[in-house]
Amino acid sequence: MNEMSTAAPATASVMVVDHPLVQHKVTLVRSEDTTTDNFRRLVREISQLLTYEATRDLAMETVAIRTPLAPMQSPMLSGKKLCLVAILRAGNGFIDGMLELLPAARVGHIGLYRDPETLEPIEYYFKMPEDVHERLVIVVDPMLATGNSAIAALNRLKEAGVSALKYVCLIASRPGLRALQAAHPDVAIVTAAIDDTLDAHGYIVPGLGDAGDRLYGTR
């Protein structure tokens, strides 16, 4: 696990999860030879491994329990409840795997599509738990490309009263990271890989193509 600072010290960290299992699966998920079913499985598995790191700093408390042999004091989660927010449509590819680790988490959805000319996000759907402002919210989307969709999603969540936020993605671009950190310096980012550039259409290079198309077998 590496941490990279790309801005001033006050800017939240970027955590690159460089565990061998993660990096092996990222290589497979990037390959154009990976089939749709295997792509879905790999994204699900990577999402679980990233969730492990994204929740490393959750608050704990000590409670009294009894094992079959003796009483003891043992740690359990405490503090704010969780909400996972998927940026549609590709963000849904993360949710099922994350819920296996966080079964009590609520789930929200933000529907955004990217204008092909301006590359700016346009919102078409926003659905959150009523108490989302009381929760730690983890926003998920496989690709952080220009950063525009992530910034728009975080803006909406802050408008809804959310103050505790994290962002998790599979691959981030350096331009997208810079943009996201400039707009939301308080939001920690967890990713499996960082690529240097974007093409003229706003896709990450080398990236993995369009994550939504590869998840759902569309073009």
What's the confidence (pLDDT) of residue 1? 56
Quickly state the pLDDT bin for 114 (edges 50, 70, 90).
confident
In a domain, 6, yes or no: no
In a domain, 203, yes or no: yes
Which residue segment(s) compose the domain that 103 sits in?
14-216
Pick out the residues of the known binding site for uracil: 204, 209-211
- For β-strands 106-114 and 121-127, DSSP reports them as antiparallel
- pLDDT single digits (tens) 136-179: 999 999 999 999 999 999 999 999 999 999 999 999 999 999 99
In a domain, 102, yes or no: yes
Average pLDDT of the chain to the nearest whole number? 90
Residue pointed to by tokens 């009894």: 66
What pTM was computed for the model? Answer: 0.88
Structure tokens at 119: 């590359």
Instruction: For residues 107 and 7, give the distance between their C-alpha atoms in angstroms, rounded to a whole number.
Output: 31
What's the confidence (pLDDT) of residue 4? 46
Radius of gyration (C-alpha) of the chain in whole angstroms = 18
Instruction: For residues 104 and 123, give the distance between their C-alpha atoms in angstroms, rounded to a whole number.
Output: 27
User: What single-letter DSSP state applies at residue 117?
Assistant: T
Pick out the residues of the known binding site for 5-phospho-alpha-D-ribose 1-diphosphate: 89, 114, 141-149, 210
For residue 38, the Cα-to-chain-centroid distance in whole angstroms is: 20
> What are the C-alpha distances in Å from 78 to residues 130, 136, 181, 202, 219?
20, 12, 28, 40, 43
In a domain, 183, yes or no: yes
Question: Which CATH number belongs to the domain containing residue 107 in this structure?
Answer: 3.40.50.2020
In a domain, 192, yes or no: yes
Q: Kindly report the backbone phi and psi dihedral angles of residue 163, in degrees, each rounded to the nearest multiple of 5, phi listed first.
A: -120, -20
- pLDDT single digits (tens) 35-70: 999 999 999 999 999 999 999 989 999 999 999 999
Mean pLDDT to the nearest integer, 116-123: 79
Q: How many domains does the chain have?
A: 1
In a domain, 3, yes or no: no
Helix axis angle, 148-159 relative to 174-183, nearest 10°? 20
Pick out the residues of the known binding site: 89, 114, 141-149, 204, 209-211
Instruction: For residues 196 and 106, give the distance between their C-alpha atoms in angstroms, rounded to a whole number.
Output: 34
In a domain, 190, yes or no: yes
In a domain, 64, yes or no: yes
